[in-house]
Amino acid sequence: MAAPVYPAWVTRWVSGQWRQKKRPPVIRPTRPLVLANKVANRREQAGEATCITEMSVMMACWKQNDFNDAACAEEIRMFYDCVAKTEEERKNQNEDTLSPRGNLSSSRVNKLLRRFPHITRYV
């Protein structure tokens, strides 16, 4: 009995010859692979809420005392102190520092790209 006859492509596939002839596809970018000199302006994510505990204590006090400010003076003072402290921290935060997520804002990126633009021609 004779051995079975397979098509030529099966023989090449089994022997591994197909790997030698196959090359990766040629990728042609539609635009040049360089950085632009600016990025789109994106709205920054809203930061996390602060002083929530103090505000809820102040509102609970108001509700218990029929919205009388005199009875809740201590809670109101604590809330305003917390807000002032948070605003002070926000003002003291350096503009060039990263956000809590580790990203630069689009305005900061544009400022850096203006300082170090992409060179399009050589002198």
27 found inside a domain: no
Taking the C-alpha atoms of residue 116 and residue 68, their distance in angstroms, rounded to an integer, is 58
Place of tokens 């602060």: 50
Instruction: Tell me which of 73 and 99 has the higher pLDDT.
Output: 73
* 32 is a domain residue: no
Residue 95 has pLDDT above 60, yes or no: no
pLDDT at 123 over 60: no
Asked whether residue 104 is domain-assigned, the answer is no
d(CA 52, CA 95): 26
The encoded tokens of residue 60 equal: 């609970």
Q: Is residue 70 part of a domain?
A: yes
In the chain, % of residues over pLDDT 90: 25
Are 39 and 15 in contact by the 8 Å Cβ rule? The answer is no
What pLDDT, on the 0 to 100 scale, is given for residue 59?
94
**Other CB atoms within 10 A of residue 72 CB:** 21
**Looking at the domain assignment, is residue 5 inside a domain?**
no
What are the pLDDT digits (tens) for 12-39? 777 665 555 566 667 888 877 777 788 8
Q: Is residue 90 situated within a structural domain? A: yes
DSSP state of 30: S
Residue 78 falls inside a structural domain:
yes
Is residue 21 within 8 Å of residue 104, measured between CB atoms? no
For residues 81 and 89, give the distance between their C-alpha atoms in angstroms, rounded to a whole number. Answer: 12
Q: Tally the domains of the chain.
A: 1
Full domain range(s) for residue 72 = 49-96
Neighbours of 79 (CB within 10 A): 19
Instruction: Give the chain's mean pLDDT.
Output: 80
pTM over 0.85: no
For residue 54, being part of any structural domain is answered with yes
